[in-house]
Amino acid sequence: MASKRAKLLEKVLGNVSICINNGELIVGSKTPKPLGSPLYPEIACDWVEAELDSMSSRKEAPFLVSDETKRILRTDVFPHWKGKQVSNRLNESLTEEVKTTLAEGLFLHYYRNRTIGHITVDYENALRNGLRSTKRSIELKLNRCTKGEDFKKSDLLKAMATVCDALCVFSKRFANLARELQSKEVEESRKHELEQIADICDRVPGQPARTFWEALQAFWFIHLALNLETNGYAIGPGRLDQYLYPFYKQDLEAGRITRDQAKELLRCLWIKFNELTVAKEGETAKGSTSYNDFQNVNLAGITPDGKSAENDLSLLCLEVTGELGLPQPQVSALISKKTSDNFLLEACRVIRLGFGMPSLFNDDVKVQAMLDKGKTLKDAISGGINGCVELVVPGMERMASSGYVNLAKCLELALNEGKNPVSRKTIGKATPNPREFQTFSQLMDAFRAQLAHVLNIKLSYDNLARRTYAEYCPVPLTSVLVHDCLENTTDYHAGGAHYNQPMVCLVGIATVVDSLAAIKKLVFQEKRMSMQEMVHMVNQNFSENEMLRQMLLNRTEKYGNDNQSVDELATEFVEMLCDQVRQMRDEQGRSYAANLIPTTTHIYFGSQTGATPDGRKAGEPLSEGVSPAQGRDVNGPTCVLKSVSKLNHVRCSGTLLNMKLHPSMLKTDHDLAKFRSLIRGYFTLGGFHVQFNVVSAETLRDAQEHPENYQNLVIRVAGYSDYFVRLSRDVQDEIISRAEHVC
């Protein structure tokens, strides 16, 4: 199967239509259209067939599909792949329990039309040594194979060699095209650029990069080919400023390039990142309404010898990010105690521009969290961020993130003996009647039982999905670029990477914590209502008692306000979640880690969940990440950060905090200095991540009403930024509903 997959990629790279657009310095695109997307029919195309006529008019991430493309798909593609897609093989094996759990909104997974993702390969080694060198290593290992060697192993090695050659052929095609265009070009400056592009594409990525431009182009060819090999979720560049800096530095010192010329090359790369769009199946599109994939560029952090890793290229990347204001790549600044105040201040200047970048990470907590997951100190220091906020060791890890679990639904089941109060189906574990609970701990026991039940179902799905992708969707190019896959002669999807860290995303933290706090206070401490009254009121969606709902909303403590009692409950709750998740073990015996992010599934999950005891009505969005519930953080940004910092971020594989600031808070340099101190204080207290929207609700409401005036308005959604007017109305409304902090 690996050889078949390699031949498929070889055919794509050798035959796909290519173009070099006017003015481009970095070349290569996923499709001839700047914002087009392949469909990967071998992975899943039944959903494409079902949505083909509605894809251009659907609310979430619409795509225009020409009549000719529709004809080809219906005549040639769909019939060929009918019943043979990876998704077919996966869906055929799903149990009724898994299907029911999905349908009832208890969890959402990636793999119906996306392959296993969250991939950051070893770009550095590929740039320094070239793919020809890697191919020689593959051939040496292949020559040592005995006749009795496992067929799968020799097949994988042949596939690895094939994709190395295929990528070199791909680059040569661009060299030839550049020379063809050069022969017709009349402008001397562009003629010279095309000559340089041709020479570069002749060399990389087959041979080692020698210059900054060659390194950028080699990176892009590899990154693009990974995206063409499979529609893997979140293929991330990683710590780009670290592995590109030596090329930049030596070019500057040799006088081959100026800082401005390097900046222009980076601008070209940033534009290419924005061309990598993704066609998503309807339900998946509801969970993440963006076209963009999660290409996370990490800046700064610390070096292997414990010094600040910031350099001039780090600053240059910040400048380009701020000047272009594009939604991709996702730029993340890794901030350590060793990071200079100047670098953090420059990051704050870009944040002030209002489009949600860079996202800020505590690099010291990152190292501790990776050590907690079994990484060596060296690998923990070199580690970075992939996807939204997930920890990864570049070139050494299969993260194996597989989807989301609805925590609020687990609470709903605990309050209804395992039944969904809307459908009346028993979809959870049979737990005692909550109306008879005499203590808060009995409620928590019921919640833990429901969570464990859902996690076990999720685990069975994950194991099935990974087996299916390992068997039917090997990824030889990814395997070439991830350590130990070659050494073990084991495909990336089959667990060949040095580290294999399974994880699960848990959604609705603050919604559940605020609900538990309300029950604990009103039922068990103050005894102002019985559990029977609480359950009845919630199941009736507060239709019989709006006054009590207002009391729940406004008279009970809410997480995010530096309130000791509710923050302690939040801390205990997250510890319990981490304990439960760590008991999950995949088929190789590897322990899971909890990832506290939603993307935008908190909106979808909210639509599938009834009212909750925090006063939230049925169908409303859940809270997102580890952020306070929408509008509940009323004591200012300092209290939010103090509450969130109390959680044990080290035990998680990622936590996400969104904050919204009014632009008036960051007007002056003095404001920026205070803002920098706020971030330093949060990280000193142990917080892991924070990202900011610096935009007023008034502006966002006006953009809803007059989208034609805000076509370039980019805001932070979840672990990504996107054009506000392209988002669905419910996502826009949820962003507006977040508390807006004003000085």
Distance of CA 524 to the CA centre of its chain: 40
**pLDDT band, very low/low/confident/very high, at 289 (cuts 50, 70, 90):** low
Task: Tell me 651's DSSP state.
Answer: G
Query: What pLDDT, in 10s, does the model give residues 367-415?
Result: 999 999 999 999 999 999 999 999 999 999 998 767 899 999 999 999 9
- Whole-number Å distance between alpha carbons of 615 and 632: 11
Mean predicted confidence (pLDDT) in 719-738: 89
Q: Which residues are catalytic?
A: 388, 390
Secondary structure of residue 722 in the 3-state scheme:
strand
- Whole-number Å distance between alpha carbons of 113 and 196: 39
Mean predicted confidence (pLDDT) in 119-133: 97
Mean predicted confidence (pLDDT) in 648-664: 96
Closest by Cα among 108, 687, 204 to 407 = 108
Q: What is the dihedral of CA 524, 526, 528, 534, to 10 degrees?
A: -30
Mean predicted confidence (pLDDT) in 151-167: 95
E-strand stretches of 545-680? 593-596, 654-655, 658-661
Q: Which residues of 98-131 are buried (b: 16+ CB within 10 A; e: fewer)?
A: bebbbebbbbbbbbbbbbbbbbbbbbbebbbbbb
* 287, pLDDT greater than 60: no
Confidence (pLDDT) at 576: 98
**pLDDT band, very low/low/confident/very high, at 60 (cuts 50, 70, 90):** confident
**pLDDT band, very low/low/confident/very high, at 147 (cuts 50, 70, 90):** low
Angle subtended at Cα 511 by Cα 506 and Cα 516, rounded to the nearest 5 degrees: 105
- Whole-number Å distance between alpha carbons of 280 and 58: 11
Confidence (pLDDT) at 294: 87
% helix, strand, coil for the chain, step of 5: 50, 10, 35
Mean predicted confidence (pLDDT) in 34-47: 89
Query: What value does the mean pLDDT of the chain take?
Result: 94
Q: Which residues of 243-264 are buried (b: 16+ CB within 10 A; e: fewer)?
A: bbbbbbeebbeeeebeeeebbe
Contact 16, 486 (CB under 8 A): no
Confidence (pLDDT) at 726: 85
CB atoms within 10 A of CB 422: 16
Mean predicted confidence (pLDDT) in 496-519: 96
Mean predicted confidence (pLDDT) in 446-473: 94
* 148, pLDDT greater than 80: no
Mean predicted confidence (pLDDT) in 194-210: 98
**pLDDT band, very low/low/confident/very high, at 111 (cuts 50, 70, 90):** low
Query: What pLDDT, in 10s, does the model give residues 699-717?
Result: 999 999 999 999 999 999 8
Q: Any idea how long the chain is?
A: 743
Contact 431, 417 (CB under 8 A): yes
Regarding pTM above 0.85, the answer is: yes
Confidence (pLDDT) at 271: 96
Q: Count CA atoms within 13 Å of residue 282 on its CB side.
A: 14
Contact 609, 488 (CB under 8 A): no
Confidence (pLDDT) at 403: 83
Query: What pLDDT, in 10s, does the model give residues 346-362?
Result: 999 999 999 999 999 99
If residue 694 lies in a helix (H) or strand (E), which one and from where to where? strand 689-694
**pLDDT band, very low/low/confident/very high, at 283 (cuts 50, 70, 90):** low
Mean predicted confidence (pLDDT) in 287-309: 86
Confidence (pLDDT) at 605: 94
